[in-house]
Amino acid sequence: MAAEAHSTATLRLSVGDLRIVHPITVPTGPVPAADVVPALQELVNAVVAAAEAGKAISCRKGCGACCRQLVPISRTEGEALVALVEAMPKEQRKALRARFAAAEARIAGAGLADRAGRSDRELSIAYFALGVACPFLEDESCSIHRDRPLVCREYLVTSPAELCAAGPAQEGVTPVPVPKLSLAARRLQDETDDWFPLAMLMAGSRTRPTGGKRRPGTEWVQRFLKGLKN
Ligand code: SF4
């Protein structure tokens, strides 16, 4: 089978105070939106590297305090993550599915499965208070570090690590001001600014719409860039 053709372009972006020059490579032909997620991850990596330059970052491997927060995920990233889980070896997939089922049960049991009637802040505080670890967290480290969501890449702190675990109000925690490109991913397929909690990935995969549009990779990138301006 012939290798899939790819197109490369140099993006010149102004995001916040940052000026980013970044080569981006995407499939040339029509693909699902999830197929451009790796390219968006590289772009976010470049933005994060520029934002954290010269700062003393406290985040370390083995500190998973922030992985008990509500992690908002776009439909497109959700599709890429479900595909990632489906491609894992059987035993790993089974263990992961069990952790997702346990997390979903605790979230539903606390009445947090339905976002209706709550502000995002109220929901975030309630989630953190519940202390449900992200199912991808293993030994306090991210087991999908290379494929972790955009919003996880964008969260770094310069304050002492112990403050991150101190309480839902996150008093004294100083995040690095990283422009949130992850927000644009939410509008990639749909015009609405929709998201779901990462811990509900598997539960949602049974009910979320499937069979999204296929577009050339460059068109997905253009839609993403347009989403940055909204
Ligand atoms: S995906 Fe990884 S980095 Fe993100 S919350 Fe889960 S364990 Fe933490």
Query: Would the CB of 149 count as within 6 Å of ligand 1?
Result: yes
Predicted pLDDT at 171: 85
Torsion (CA) 47, 51, 54, 55 in degrees, nearest 10: -130
- Report residue 206 as tokens: 């049974």
Is this model's pTM higher than 0.85 or not? yes
The pick from 44, 48, 136, 153 for probing ligand 1's pocket by mutation, whose C-beta has the most ligand atoms within 8 angstroms, reads 136
Spatial distance between the Cα atoms of 217 and 228, rounded to a whole number of angstroms: 17
Residue type, 48: V
What is the biggest distance separating any 2 CA atoms in the chain, rounded to whole angstroms?
A: 55
Has residue 182 got a pLDDT over 90? yes
Tens of pLDDT, residue by residue over 97-135, are: 999 999 999 999 999 988 888 888 899 989 999 999 999
Tens of pLDDT, residue by residue over 154-181, are: 999 999 988 988 877 788 899 999 999 9
| Residue 5 Cα to ligand 1 middle (Å) | 31
Torsion (CA) 140, 143, 147, 153 in degrees, nearest 10: 10
Alpha-carbon Rg for the chain in angstroms: 18
Beta bridge partners of 23: 10
The pick from 132, 137, 143, 198 for probing ligand 1's pocket by mutation, whose C-beta has the most ligand atoms within 8 angstroms, reads 137
Predicted pLDDT at 170: 80
Provide the residue ranges of all domains of the chain, joining segments of one domain with +: 6-229
| Residue 199 Cα to ligand 1 middle (Å) | 10
Has residue 1 got a pLDDT over 60? no
The pick from 44, 142, 155 for probing ligand 1's pocket by mutation, whose C-beta has the most ligand atoms within 8 angstroms, reads 142
Q: Report the half-sphere exposure of 31 (CA within 13 A, side-chain side).
A: 22
DSSP string covering the chain: -PPPPEEEEEEEEEETTEEEEEEEEEESSEEEGGGGHHHHHHHHHHHHHHHHTT------TT--GGGGS--EE-HHHHHHHHHHHHTS-HHHHHHHHHHHHHHHHHHHHTT-S--TTS-HHHHHHHHHHHTPPPTTEETTEETTGGG--HHHHT--B-S-HHHHTS-TT-TT--B-----THHHHTTSSSSS---EEGGGHHHHHTTS-----EEEHHHHHHHHHHHHH-
Predicted pLDDT at 16: 87
| Residue 165 Cα to ligand 1 middle (Å) | 15
Tens of pLDDT, residue by residue over 193-229, are: 778 999 999 987 777 667 789 999 999 999 999 988 7
- Which protein residue's CA is at the shortest distance from atom 1 of ligand 1? 148
Predicted pLDDT at 30: 96
